[in-house]
Structure 1
Amino acid sequence: MRSLLSAALAAALALVAALTLLPAGGGGWAWGSPAVEAHWYLSGLDSRATVLQLLGNLLLLAPAAALAVVRLPALRSPAVLAVAAGTAGAAIEVLQWLLPLGRVVSPLDAFLNAVGALAAGLLVTALVGPGAPRPYGGITAARRG
């Protein structure tokens, strides 16, 4: 069970890397002003492109967060999960800034990524329970003795 969860988590993170860290044009980067982007989102909710961008940012880290909460029970603590989600969202934007990918570096994207990851992680925690036993090769810690 642990191996399967680890492989699924690795695949989810690889997908995030492919979606966010592949070059998107020329080198360098551009700054995404949080105020300008927030206005774009709020004034464009009637636009399919805007809604897709918003949902994409909210859902980007959700599968990885859900798998991570199952695989790493320490993430079932809301405080720990919030820090991990925020760190993951910020790390994507920092890497987009550091690497010559031609991407827009956006603090608002980092925030939306973190909110989506936090929501997914909290949902999974509610489903499996914060104190659910950790899987060990198909045998739970509670049954191991």
Structure 2
Amino acid sequence: MAADPCSPVLVLDRPGTARPVPEAPGRRLLLGAALALALAVVASLTLVPEGSGWAWGAPLTELHWYLTGLASPTTLLQLVGNLLLLAVPAALAVRLWPALAHPARLAVAALAAGGTIEVLQFLLPLGRVVSPVDALLNAAGAVLAGLLVAAADRTGTDSTA
């Protein structure tokens, strides 16, 4: 299968030199399937009911909770969980659509994804806390993961190996 010009695969012959090589058959299909699975995991973590209705997570209150609770395992779990929630989908999306690796595009997509989770938690009677801070943390982790994958791809390092 010929290399997709939108998704180049490079092989480093010597430091500083790279040449395009044919894309492995089924690579895009595998990436798409992995992305779908990662998004299903995100949905199961964020859209499973925990009661009914919803609660508002006041941003200043949440920021204070995070900043004053960094010694607490519960706070650290929440912080790290929010940062990592969209990291795998972002990394896979950048691999699948390399144009998404542009920081502005990636930030818009990440904010849209994080915001969509919070909007769905508001609209559906899930008993979840609707939090703009969560959406921003989700987006920050996604942008960081996407940029790391893009940087690895530019240097010829396979970050999925």
Normalized against structure 1, the TM-score is what? Answer: 0.87
Looking at structure 1, the residues matched to 104 and 58 of structure 2 have their Cα atoms a distance apart, in angstroms, of 28
**Percentage identity across aligned positions?**
67
Alignment of 1:65 onto 2:90? yes
Looking at structure 2, the residues matched to 13 and 99 of structure 1 have their Cα atoms a distance apart, in angstroms, of 18
Q: CA deviation at 1:66?
A: 0.3
Q: Which one has a larger percent helix, Structure 1 or Structure 2?
A: 1
Larger Rg: 2
Q: Deviations over 1:23-54 (max 9, x none)?
A: 012x1100000000000000000000100000
Looking at structure 2, the residues matched to 129 and 105 of structure 1 have their Cα atoms a distance apart, in angstroms, of 37
> Partner residue of 2:119?
94
Looking at structure 1, the residues matched to 107 and 29 of structure 2 have their Cα atoms a distance apart, in angstroms, of 25
Normalized against structure 2, the TM-score is what? Answer: 0.79
- Over the residues paired in the alignment, what is the CA RMSD in angstroms? 1.0
Moved over 4 A (4+): none
Unaligned runs of 5+ in 2: 1-26, 156-161
104, 107, 110: which one pairs with 1:85? 110
Higher relative contact order (CA closer than 8 Å, sequence separation 6+)? 1
Unaligned runs of 5+ in 1: 131-145
Give 3-state SS (helix, strand or coil) of 1:100's partner. Answer: coil
